[in-house]
Structure 1
Amino acid sequence: MLRINNIKLPIDHSNEDIKAEIAKKLNISSNDIRKFYIRKKSIDARKKNTMIYFIYNIDFEIENEDIFLKHSFISKSPNYNYKFPIPGDIPLKHKPIIIGFGPAGMFSALILAEAGYEPIILERGKKVDERKKDVKNFWENSILNTESNVQFGEGGAGTFSDGKLNTLIKDKHNRIRKMLKEFVEAGAPEEILYINKPHIGTDKLEIAVKNIRKKIENLGGKILFNSKVTDFIIKNNKIKGVIVNNSEKLYSDIVILAIGHSARDTFQTLFEKGVKITQKPFSIGVRIEHLKEMIDKSQYGKFYNHPKLKAADYKLSHRAKNGRAVYTFCMCPGGYVVASASEKNMVVTNGMSEFARNNINSNSAILVNVSPEDFPSKHPLSGVDFQRRYEKKAFEISQSYYAPVQLFGDFLKSKKSSKFGSVNPTYKPGTVFYDLNKIFPDYISSALKEGILAMGKKLKYFSNYDSLLTGVETRSSSPVRIERNEDYESINIKGLYPAGEGAGYAGGITSSAVDGIRIAERIISKYKKGW
């Protein structure tokens, strides 16, 4: 296989046009190209009112490959095969335990299961089909199940999201490719293997996580739902096992801690057991909603409703005068703002969209960075207290899970809105008008105002008066870091492996999954089955 990059074609091209363009560059007949495979596909919309282009990286098969390698724009196709590590020689007396079945826990479990280590996975929430019923009940009836919600359950918080898989992390070992292929085999769209900003959508993701679970079980892994780890068995600074639901003891010298960024009670338990935890910066803010059509027009110009183009996304940032970073996060084209609380009497927002991304609105978080200097104390869990303060404030406005909303123009004026403009909220169970300036400290509010206005200069319509703000967004990332060493092991509890977003080492589905894979590899390379 050979690789050719930067094949640029106008929006209405066909697959045959791709083949013809490769042949043209190589000065050969299209018939000489046996097969070709799209390895990357992105959009060039810089001339959106003239022409939009698709840019491809293509792998192709052809006879006499060496002849064509003389061209500077041709290279050998990279090897996409994932390699398992060679097992170590220290015998394990018990099967590895994994706490949490989000992306980090799921993919560490899959790698261990494929290597024959038969992991035991403990998930405090429910299977995804049962979890969906609890989430629906919360959104429609304000009845929150604190163990089965948007944050907890099969697939983790990512299950009720856009299923975005783009990441900035480097990957020389095909871990990302491994993750993508597993998702495709489990029912995700094949395009995630090559599209520039891949996403699965919550409707496809729930299918994929179920099928990955079944694969793990077929390989000898065991997944226990409704199984909350309530204590840790630690002796001489070594993990020896866990206690589940305050009663059952499970023993193991290896425990992967993939608990997610909202497992606040588990953070507390770990702290009380002496596990080294430190404060970590994160961000808070609001969700902003626009009509999807307006964002599409801003990004695609006259081609905004072209059938080959999906709902447009954006990524914007600004450095405020007070030094705070303001940026968009978890942008959900054609999506919904969703209620995401995991504790009683608190309002938390997040974004979600299905694979089609065809809802009338698009939304994104607008966040402002906060650091330990902003937290109420030096306590390692003070960031959690900081989050709770604003989640409680949002709840107390109406003494309900209704979210406070405000038109951006009214936010600028510190004036409570009285009616919606062109944008109606998608948040359920409901909303209440409120001046969001009264929730946040000035350094957050002023940075949000300045940032949104600056973003409006970069993206048309973004800072319109009736752009809708919904509060509060507090769970952008974990407020703690569970300290670990170069072997991914807790710095003071041997055998405990903090993993993924909740431990403070990832941000999103892909980076969390890759972190889980790395930890599984390290365990495999050190230990062998001894049971």
Structure 2
Amino acid sequence: MPHSQSVRITELRLPIDHSTEDLHKAIVQRLNMGEHQVLEYTLFKRSYDARGKNAIILLSYIVDVVADDVESVLKQFTEDKKITRTPDTAYHFIGHAHASFSEKKRPIVVGFGPCGIFVALILAQMGLKPIVLERGQAVRQRTQDTWGLWRKKILNPESNVQFGEGGAGTFSDGKLYSQIKDPKFYGRKVLHEFVKAGAPEEILYVSKPHIGTFRLVSMVEKMRAEMIELGAEVRFGARMTDVLIEQGQVQGVQLADGEVIESNHVIMALGHSARDTFEMLHKRRVFMEPKPFSVGFRIEHPQSLIDQARFGKYAGHPILGAADYKLVHHASNGRAVYSFCMCPGGTVVAATSEPNRVVTNGMSQYSRNERNANSGIVVSINPSDYPATDPNDAALAGIEFQRFWESRAFELGGGDYSAPAQLVGDFVAKQASKEFGKVQPSYKPGVTLGSLDTSLPDYAIAAIREALPAFDKQIKGYFLHDAVLTGVETRTSSPLRITRGEDMQSLNVKGLYPAGEGAGYAGGILSAGVDGIKVAEAVGASLLGLNGI
């Protein structure tokens, strides 16, 4: 609906079991209008308030309403901040290429995760015909390769949870919410493109939208098809091994097979696990710096326990679905311990991209109906925790830190990609676990019970050991003896930042555009997509000669 012809109501609250008719009546009553004067309405957001299991859960809406006379409605409520003109949240392109756009100027997008997808999609929609280089495989082949590790303990280093079409977000909960500031509503563009590609329309208005792995597979295929139809070229199995730079200006890239592709606009939409690419960029003296990240474990509880603790008598309600949580504890040793990438009704998955290392992550399907809830329980790590032997290599020191603990987890798990695990009660009591209780771990290829004491730095172990009982005060029953910890989670975010300026370009290489999670500018599907749009606009402005954008 045109935003100028509608009114936005915020904080419209109704009981959780209200009917469609109840919502319509509430809108009419709130606007002090007759029923016939409300022509139509659209949900912009629906959230719930669940503060304690005995509380009454209410649904809170933001609704955009088309009415007979918008101006008179706004005049009536000039002092009411909860009734305003609907803002314009539509996406507006900065420009489009002419039909004569030179093929020689085609931008290159390295990486085809959420950020790379939206860089390429926006560039294609602007008529700028990007060339996409993805080292991994197309999403369906990649899924088969990933199952090879989960089911047969066979790792494909170039096609796995980290590498391939859709990026690491494909094998996740498919969460589509973020706490980033988004004054231009780029996030709405991301959501609308997902709906166009097959995501349920509810992601446009629920407070914590998610898609799930299986739906993401078909969606990224449809988005790729649109790009190609608009003139983009998408190559799989195309690993970039070098970036060509002359006098501070990027000239193109070289692939593993020796092919050189020339371009003065190269977008580095890398994942946070593109370690060999980071090392190559470091050798080429592209400016980068170390940044904080986090390490820890995956924890699994019965989903029913979390539902009951969060929703009480409303547990299992179809509108609420499987409950999630967000926890933080400031440990006495100065470390922050917090839940990360919580996956309701999901599974813990093997997420390594390098041989002889174990990495965990969490994943859920759209239904979120698996037996266990899982979440990362991680500890903040700062660059001072992983000082480089050579100060010139400081930007890469976080990678070596991650590799050390991933290799240790591989060893503790038995050397066959099984992961080390321990019951929560035993972990806190400092005794090795010997058998599982009521919680069965979901990690494939499997887990090896024992002690996690040597799987992470001492300060991380101490902080997590203190946090787990403390979390029970926030979620009753969380400190469950039989809950399972599986190690290790090391790739919460990129350990470095390929620093860029306000023009979105590398600080010391013109035409090189660091983007997304691997470059240190996003954390999750939505924020990565938003960053991709921003970078695409910067590249588009340069190619189209639009100064000041």
> Aligning the two structures, in what range does the TM-score lie when normalised by the shorter sequence?
over 0.9
Letter in 1 for 2:20: N
- Is 1:435 the counterpart of 2:435? The answer is no
C-alpha displacement at 1:47, in angstroms? Answer: 5.5
Q: 1:451 aligns with which of 460, 467, 471?
A: 467
What code does the residue aligned with 2:434 have? S
**SS of structure 2 residue aligned to 1:438:** coil
The alignment yields a C-alpha RMSD, in angstroms, of 1.5
Matches within 5 A, 1:302-313: 302-313=313-324
Distance 2:198 2:85 in 1: 30
Uncovered stretches (5+) of structure 2, i.e. residues with no partner: 1-5
- Rounded to whole Å, the distance in 2 between the matches of 1:273 and 1:449 is 42
Map of 1:514 onto structure 2: 530
Cα distance between partner residues in 1 of 2:487 and 2:509: 38
Post-superposition CA distance 1:182-223 (Å, at most 9, x none): 000001111111111111111111111111111111110010
Residue aligned with 2:146, SS: helix
Which residue is equivalent to 1:387?
A: 402
Report the residue type matching 2:310 in the other structure: Q
Aligned to 1:35: 40
Q: Residues of 2 paired with 1:273 and 1:525: CA distance?
A: 26
The separation in 2 between residues aligned to 1:47 and 1:265, in whole angstroms, is 47
My pick for the range that moved more, 77-86 or 323-332, is: 77-86
Match of 1:95 among 72, 82, 106: 106
Deviation by residue 1:465-500 (Cα, 9 ceiling, x = unmatched): 111100000000001111211111111111110101
Distance 1:365 1:93 in 2: 45
SS in 2 for 1:420: coil
1:130-159 deviation line (CA, Å, top 9, x unaligned): 001001111000000000000000010000
Matched residues, number: 529
- Partner residue of 1:212 out of 219, 223, 244: 223
Distance 1:46 1:273 in 2: 52
SS of the residue 2:410 aligns to: helix
The CA distance in 2 between the partners of 1:105 and 1:294, in whole Å, is 38
Using the alignment, how far apart are the partners of 1:308 and 1:274 within structure 2?
52
Larger displacement relative to structure 2 (477-486 or 145-154):
477-486
The answer (yes or no) to whether the contact 1:126–1:154 under 8 Å persists in 2 is yes
Given that 1:231 and 1:246 are in contact with CA atoms closer than 8 Å, whether structure 2 keeps it comes out as no
Aligned equivalent of 2:148, options 125, 130, 137 = 137
For 1:70-128, what per-residue CA distance to the aligned partner results, in whole angstroms no more than 9, with x for missing partners?
22132111112111114699988421000000111110111110111000000000000
**TM-score normalised by structure 2 residue count:** 0.94
AA in 2 matched with 1:249: V
Q: Percent identity?
A: 49
The SS at the match of 2:341 is strand
1:98–1:255 Cα contact (<8 Å) kept: yes
**2:491: which partner in 1?**
475
Rounded to whole Å, the distance in 1 between the matches of 2:108 and 2:52 is: 53
1:417 aligns with 2:433: yes
* TM-score (norm: length of structure 1): 0.97
Q: 1:184 aligns with which of 192, 195, 205?
A: 195
Offset of residue 387 of structure 1: 0.2
- Verify the 8 A CA contact 2:97 2:126 in the aligned structure 1: no
The residue aligned with 2:240 is 229
Change (3 A) 1:88 1:492: farther
Query: Is the 2:348–2:363 contact (alpha carbons within 8 Å) kept by the matching residues of 1?
Result: yes
Gaps of 5+ in 1: none
Q: In structure 2, what is the Cα distance between the partners aligned to 1:151 and 1:50?
A: 41
Q: Which residues in structure 2 correspond to 1:104-503 (within 5 Å)?
A: 104-377=115-388, 378=391, 379=393, 380-397=395-412, 398-503=414-519
Matched, 1:3 2:8: yes
Residue by residue over 1:341-388, the C-alpha shift from the partner in whole angstroms, topping out at 9 and shown as x without a partner, is 100000000000001100000100011001111114142201000000
Q: 2:14 & 2:231 partners in 1: Cα distance?
A: 47
* Contact residue 406 and residue 469 of structure 1 kept, 8 A: yes
